Chain A
Amino acid sequence: EPEVTQTPSHQVTQMGQEVILRCVPISNHLYFYWYRQILGQKVEFLVSFYNNEISEKSEIFDDQFSVERPDGSNFTLKIRSTKLEDSAMYFCASSNRAGNQPQHFGDGTRLSIL
């Protein structure tokens, strides 16, 4: 069964540094999402992306964050200047349509900011 893959599985970064999290969505999917989950807490929506542009974003997704689809397969989340509170598990998800279609999650990248 096709799956969403994320790399790296764990990223350790110094505060203030830039970090790029990578995702390969399921190949025929058109909608892409980033979520984060702080340890022990709920999953929080960050951003959705369709047709090479952001379609929705939450208040968490401020100017420090950006997303990009640099080629036909990758979908990246960049955090420009990381803060301690950015430490979390970041999940990428994809769906082949919005609305009544499930979002398939990757295994996540655990981001630790020191």
Chain B
Amino acid sequence: QQPVQSPQAVILREGEDAVINCSSSKALYSVHWYRQKHGEAPVFLMILLKGGEQKGHDKISASFNEKKQQSSLYLTASQLSYSGTYFCGTDDSGSARQLTFGSGTQLTVLP
């Protein structure tokens, strides 16, 4: 069962903040966040483990509530370079050898 991401799309002005959510119906061991620009490979952003909140790079951070099986990605003071599609990949086995990706959230940052 794939995780559900929301919103499906968001348009921001440079400098604005955004939150992208990822929720699963299964108990999760970890959530992996990736950003994909059009025509390119997904690029790893960060991993959230059970009980952990990890700060990534730039002004992007995330949280993971394992009781609710939810993760949120926070983009603060967005930059033009943040534009792309954000995918969460969930691991419900503990091995992370099979990530199940959500449908993605398309983020567009306008000047």
Chain B interface size band reads: 20 to 34
Contacts of B81 in A (CB 8 A): none
Nearest chain B CB to A6's CB is how many angstroms away?
Answer: 9
Q: A91-B42, A108-B41 are known contacts. Are A42 and B97 too (CB-CB below 8 A)?
A: no
Q: Is the CB of A99 within 8 A of B42?
A: no
Q: Is the CB of B98 within 8 A of A58?
A: yes
Contacts of A31 in B (CB 8 A): 97
B75-101 vs A, Cβ < 8 Å mask (1 yes, 0 no): 000000000000101000111111111
CA gap between A73 and B67 in the complex, in Å: 41
Q: Is the CB of B42 within 8 A of A105?
A: yes
Q: Is the CB of B103 within 8 A of A105?
A: no
Interface residues of B (CB under 8 A from A): 2, 29-30, 32, 34, 36, 40-44, 47, 49, 87, 89, 93-104
Interface residues of A (CB under 8 A from B): 31, 33, 41-45, 48, 50, 55-56, 58, 91, 95, 98-108
